[in-house]
Amino acid sequence: MRTYYIAGNWKMHKTRAEAAELAGALVAQLKDGKHKYLVAPSFTLIETVAPIVRGSNILLGAQNMAPEEQGAHTGEVSVLQLKDLGVTTVILGHSERRHIYKEDDALINKKVKLALRHGLEVILCIGELLEEREAGRAEAVCESQIVKGLEGVEDLSRVVIAYEPVWAIGTGKTATPEDADAIHAYVRRLIGKLYGAGAAEKIIIQYGGSVKPENAAQLMAKENIDGALVGGAALKADSFVPIAKF
């Protein structure tokens, strides 16, 4: 049985005081939660949030990471710096990184391998644009992002996939549970082909894209949907907690 994994991506939101307040509320309200949980605050908030979630059932994540360990990379944050703060997980290949900041699969693959080499868990985000879906290319796009994103990765035990159709992110438009599950099933079959049946059965595939308290349970009821990567609704305990306890 796979564990449901609900992650909150806070994106570029919150001051330290606001982040501390949200993290404190989540720790209190998710104490009896039955699933696996993560919050991913901005880099500048990680040191504030770390002592609040330490010892709780909420893991500490980062939203991105440099492709190099250290060096002359102005404006970047390294895996060593993240580990130093107690970060256990890094979100890589988020659609906002791919589309706003033009990260390509080769760069994302470099980050994935570096994070795994350092023992971090990786949430690798994939997902198609609206025009790609309309052209019938959703599966092909996701397949290519997985094949290229995981090139050279042998062990998937610390890899989570987040399927986030780009047209559903922050738009209020959610994929239907059936459409989402179809891609999740496709991804699981692909993992089976690449890594074998055991890896396919074990890998956690989150859905992301306008997950809300009102649609979380229907999505999670689908056979291949093992959790959620939540953006907008992760910014308030009132909306994240009901998702996390769907």
Binding site for ligand PGA (CB under 6 A): 9, 164, 169-170, 208-211, 229-233
User: Read out DSSP for 193-241?
Assistant: HHH-HHHHHH--EEEESS--TTTHHHHHTSTT--EEEESGGGSSHHHHH
Catalytic entry in 35, 94, 103, 132 = 94
Q: Which is nearer to ligand PGA, 112 or 219 (by Cβ)? A: 219
Round to whole Å and give the CA distance between 168 and 133: 12
Q: Which is nearer to ligand PGA, 215 or 224 (by Cβ)? A: 215
- Minimum CB separation of residue 55 from ligand PGA in Å reads 26
Q: Which is nearer to ligand PGA, 200 or 233 (by Cβ)? A: 233
Catalytic entry in 103, 132, 143, 164 = 164
Q: Which residue, 151, 133, 153, 154, is CA-closest to 142?
A: 133
Round to whole Å and give the CA distance between 166 and 95: 6
- Minimum CB separation of residue 197 from ligand PGA in Å reads 29
Round to whole Å and give the CA distance between 60 and 56: 10
Q: Which is nearer to ligand PGA, 9 or 224 (by Cβ)? A: 9
- Minimum CB separation of residue 92 from ligand PGA in Å reads 12
Is 99 designated active site? Answer: no
Is 35 designated active site? Answer: no
CA 171, distance to chain mean position in Å, is 18
Instruction: Return the active site residues.
Output: 94, 164
